[in-house]
């Protein structure tokens, strides 16, 4: 069974978290290379990581996104104390901030399945199962990643964004699940480049503020069940 080290980085700057993801990705890729020509009994055991965190206010633009979807100037970003990064994940622009569970799985998919669509589906499913525990029905929207409510209706809205990057089948980046998120920050962007659908949070849908630690534990448990791994202490 695959082993995953879980780390809650709490509130951490986007740059520090991005750098850390890169270090872990390199660790997994380097281990794969060292194991490539070794007999199985001599290979180093591959373990994986699941990182949770919250970021100070930041907008991130994926490699296929348009800068036109950022509606603030550089000076306005500075005045509002919001950072901005162009990054190497797929997708367009999104927001990260407090009250949001941002999750970064650093998984070697060679140990699970080499299917990006299935991987994204599992990430979405973990959030769909979590919000179902609060009586909220999440779904997928054809051609649009993430977790949505009221798909196909004028009231369609996104509760979780997903964007990934892979190197030699090792993943980084991941998901942004709006729990107690201040949704006003989404008004400064065209979220994910989608103009005809809204954004929501679990807090908005249920009508009260959630205990973040309880929600994190639910998401963490669903990841374990879906991917079929076990959590281990840092090794």
- The span from the CA of 178 to the CA of 4, in Å, is 24
Do residues 159 and 178 make contact, with C-beta atoms less than 8 angstroms apart? yes
pLDDT for res 184 = 96
Alpha-carbon 105 to chain mean position: 8
Tell me which residue of 219, 207, 228, 104 sits closest to 163, measured CA to CA: 104
pLDDT in tens, the chain (235 residues): 999 999 999 999 999 999 999 999 999 999 999 988 888 777 888 899 999 999 999 999 998 899 999 999 999 999 999 999 999 998 899 999 999 999 999 999 999 999 999 999 999 999 999 999 999 999 999 989 999 999 999 999 999 999 999 999 999 999 999 999 999 999 999 988 888 889 999 999 999 999 999 999 999 999 999 999 999 987 6
Q: What is the CA radius of gyration of the chain?
A: 18
DSSP 16: H
Tell me which residue of 55, 42, 43 sits closest to 13, measured CA to CA: 55
Please state, in angstroms and as integers, the Cα–Cα distance from residue 40 to each residue in 34, 43, 108, 130, 170, following that order.
12, 5, 17, 38, 20
Confirm whether 111 is a catalytic residue: no
Q: Where are the domains of the chain?
A: 3-232
Catalytic residue among 53, 111, 160, 192: 192
Do residues 82 and 107 make contact, with C-beta atoms less than 8 angstroms apart? no
- The span from the CA of 187 to the CA of 197, in Å, is 12
Q: Which CATH superfamily is domain 3-232 in?
A: Bira Bifunctional Protein; Domain 2 (3.30.930.10)
Alpha-carbon 114 to chain mean position: 19
CB neighbours (10 Å) of residue 166?
17
| Inter-axis angle of helices 212-227 and 116-132, nearest 10 | 140
pLDDT for res 235 = 60
Residue spans of alpha helices (H) in 48-196: 74-80, 116-132
What 3-state DSSP class applies to 111? helix
Strands 144-149 and 139-141: antiparallel
Q: pTM for this one?
A: 0.95
């Amino acid at each position: 069974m695959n082993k995953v080290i879980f780390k809650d980085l709490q509130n951490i700057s986007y740059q520090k978290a991005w750098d850390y993801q890169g270090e872990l990705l390199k660790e997994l890729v380097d281990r794969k290379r060292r194991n490539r020509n070794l007999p199985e009994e001599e290979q180093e055991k591959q373990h994986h990581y699941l990182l949770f965190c919250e970021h100070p206010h930041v907008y991130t633009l994926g490699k296929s996104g348009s800068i036109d979807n950022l509606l603030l100037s550089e000076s306005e970003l500075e005045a509002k104390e919001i950072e901005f990064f162009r990054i190497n994940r797929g997708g367009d622009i999104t927001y990260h901030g407090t009250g949001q569970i941002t999750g970064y799985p650093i998984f070697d998919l060679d140990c699970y399945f080499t299917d990006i669509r299935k991987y994204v589906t599992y990430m979405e499913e973990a959030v769909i199962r979590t919000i179902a525990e609060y009586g909220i029905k999440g779904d997928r929207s054809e051609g649009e990643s993430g977790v949505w409510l009221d798909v196909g209706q004028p009231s369609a809205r996104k509760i979780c964004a997903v964007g990934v990057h892979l190197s030699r089948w090792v993943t980084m980046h991941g998901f942004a699940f709006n729990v107690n998120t201040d949704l006003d920050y989404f008004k400064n962007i065209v979220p994910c480049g989608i103009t005809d659908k809204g954004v929501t949070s679990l807090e908005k849908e249920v009508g009260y503020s959630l205990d973040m630690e309880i929600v994190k534990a639910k998401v963490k448990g669903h990841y374990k069940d879906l991917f079929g791994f076990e959590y281990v202490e840092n090794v």
